[in-house]
Amino acid sequence: MLFVLRLLLAQTIVHPLEGIAQNDWIQLLRRERFRINPLWWPRSAWLSAMSVWNAAAAQRVEARFGAQINATRVEAPVFVLGHYRSGTTHLHELLAHDPRYASPNRYQTFNPSTFLGTESWLGPLVEPFMLPRRVQEDEVAYMVATQLSPYMDWCFPNSRNGYERYLTFRGADPEEVAAWSAAVVRFLKSLTLKYQRPLILKSPPHTARVRLLLKLFPDARFIHIRRNPYAVFVSTIGLLKSIRPVFGFQLGPKTTDVDYVLRTYRTMYEAYFADRELVPPGQLVEIAYEDLDRDPIGQLRMLYGTLALGDFEVVRPALETYLASLGTYQKGRYRPLDDATRGKVAEACAQCFEAWGYPR
């Protein structure tokens, strides 16, 4: 019953933008010409009320923690890269079992500007009503703080504001790049101030932003996980169906899913293959989802050694316990692709098929 309530709230009232400030919310509504589907008017009303409170709370947090945040140094963050449904969440969950590192949770990413001052008392009150998740993508935090995120296309699928450019930022204005960069640094400094530990972060869009992340954190470490593009495509199509009610303010045209997924995939990996050569030796490891699934302990031991993440034996018992708890987990099964769609995937993902050796 509680899960049903959580799901209902996630699809009608609660929204990842719950931490947005009033001015940002008003500007966003104006930019989208207040085109909100009646299905989500209650959600919009809730965010409007929350935005007023968020603006005031952010001022209090800045007054109390601003100087400390600015003085905090972010120590060599670890970024998990890979397209949606490539195993990034599974890998992130595994790495998050190491107590020597920290990862953002749902409350922190939904409330990036206020969590330092509100999580201790408000977090326990709202978390029971949220869909359970151990770790959360940091991309949500930047969407809340700046709205400069490709996830905004999930919120406003009929928008003409070109949110796709924020996947790579190659077509973005310098002011937008600067605003996004400042939000990333601010959020990671806030997390570091709270946890006093290095951070492990995961967001698929970061796969297309290695160049930008290196400018912000030259000592950053990267783990890229790949998976058969056919499996990724089919699973991502399914992901969109579950994502829309959680992020949506509009009912978008579903007929564009195939083109949208393939366009995103191609754009992401054109940027990744161009940028990965910029990563200094010893700061990037690439693994296959199939290898992680077959030998998780061996793959993680290799990651720890290559990236100098610390003594692997410290975290091995916790990982083995967690992996044992997944023993009965059944992976999703999908219908085979028709020939026409399979051909589109093979063409759009040709660079990845070639680089990774998956059969086309």
CB neighbourhood size of 38 (10 A): 7
* 165 confidence band (pLDDT: 50, 70, 90): very high
pLDDT band at 166 (very low <50, low <70, confident <90, very high): very high
Looking at the predicted structure, is the pLDDT value of residue 332 above 80?
A: no
Pick from 122-126, 144-148, 254-258 the range whose average pLDDT is largest: 144-148
Q: What angle do CA 312, 201, 275 make, to 5 degrees?
A: 100
> Residue range 92-101: average pLDDT?
97
Nearest to 219 by CA among 289, 280, 157: 280
As to burial, measured by CB atoms within 10 angstroms (0-12 exposed, 13-18 middle, 19+ buried), residue 121 is exposed
Do 81 and 224 touch, CB atoms closer than 8 A?
A: yes
Phi, psi of 81 (to 5 degrees): -115, 155
Average pLDDT over residues 66-86: 98
User: What was the pLDDT predicted at 346?
Assistant: 96
Whether residue 312 is predicted with pLDDT greater than 60 in this model: the reply is yes
The single residue listed with the structure tokens 């991309």 is 139
User: Residue 305: its pLDDT value, please?
Assistant: 98
130 — pLDDT class (breaks 50, 70, 90): low
CA proximity to 232, closest of 77, 99, 337, 147: 337
In 3D space, the residue among 141, 292, 138 whose CA is nearest the CA of residue 201 turns out to be 138
In sequence order, what are the residues at sequence separation of 6 or more whose Cβ sits closer than 8 angstroms to the Cβ of residue 31? 161
Mean pLDDT for 260-287 is 97
Q: Which residue has the tokens 């952010």?
A: 58
- Mean pLDDT value of segment 67-79: 98
- Closest C-alpha to 83, from 173, 205, 1: 205
**Locate tokens 């079992």: which residue?**
97
Percent of residues, the chain, with pLDDT higher than 90: 85
- Distance in angstroms (rounded) separating the CA atoms of residues 19 and 115: 9
Band (127; pLDDT cuts 50, 70, 90): confident
CA distance 142 to 24: 13
How many CB atoms sit inside 10 A of residue 301's CB? Answer: 15
- 135, pLDDT greater than 60: yes
CA–CA dist 158, 137 (Å, integer): 24
Domain total in the chain:
1
What pLDDT score was predicted for residue 216? 98
- Look up the domain containing 141 and give its range: 2-356
| 106-134 average pLDDT score | 85
CB 19 within 8 A of CB 54: yes
Split at pLDDT 50, 70, 90, the class of 123 is confident
pLDDT at 330 exceeding the cut of 90: no
Query: Are the C-beta atoms of 47 and 55 separated by less than 8 Å?
Result: no
Q: What is the pLDDT of residue 45?
A: 95
Q: How confident is the model at residue 199 (pLDDT cuts 50, 70, 90)?
A: very high
Q: Is the pLDDT of residue 266 over 90?
A: yes
Q: For the segment 19-57, what is each residue's pLDDT rounded down to a tens digit? A: 999 999 999 999 999 999 999 999 999 999 999 999 999
Question: Which pLDDT belongs to residue 211?
Answer: 98
Q: Is residue 5 scored above 60 in pLDDT? A: no
- Condensed to tens digits (0 to 9), the pLDDT of residues 217-255 reads 999 999 999 999 999 999 999 999 888 889 999 987 755
- CATH number (domain holding residue 259): 3.40.50.300
For residue 118, CA distances in Å to 17, 45, 47, 115 come to 16, 22, 17, 5
